[in-house]
Amino acid sequence: MQNWQPNIISNNRENNKLTIYGEGIVSAEIWATGSKALNDAFPKLPITWFNILREMVKDEKFTDQRFSDAVKSCIKNCQYPEPTIANIIGYDKTIKVYTISELQEKYKDAYHMGATYDPIMNEYERIDFYGEKRWARKEDVKRYNLKARLL
């Protein structure tokens, strides 16, 4: 499996997100497994569909993990008789990250009500977001091995 390296997919004040997938190349083995699963699930897809998909996967620099996850998601969630290439290419998993101000705004009512539970300290951890301090859910920090930032 390829090493995970986060990529910034949106870096504006309202929508800071990290994708959990880095950039890579889909191995021949993973391509064969994924394309066979798609062909088994959607037998009417022409070979040209797979040729175009392969080129798009290369252009988008999919990793083995992202391609495998995209195939599984497509098979489980396709609402049409046959999927589109966009069903695969558009697949991503993201993590929302926050500034401390955004978290304080999000939980301001809890603090004004005199709550003894501190959601920021208990549910979030400070991380290094490309040299900036941000906060992410603790389970995401642990699951995706995000780099913690010392206080």
13-63 pLDDT, tens digit each: 446 888 888 889 999 999 999 999 999 999 999 999 999 999 999 999 999
Token pair belonging to 147: 């780099």
- Global model pTM greater than 0.85: no
Helix and strand element counts for the chain (H, E)? 8, 5
3-state secondary structure of 9: strand
Where exactly are the structural domains of the chain?
21-92, 98-143
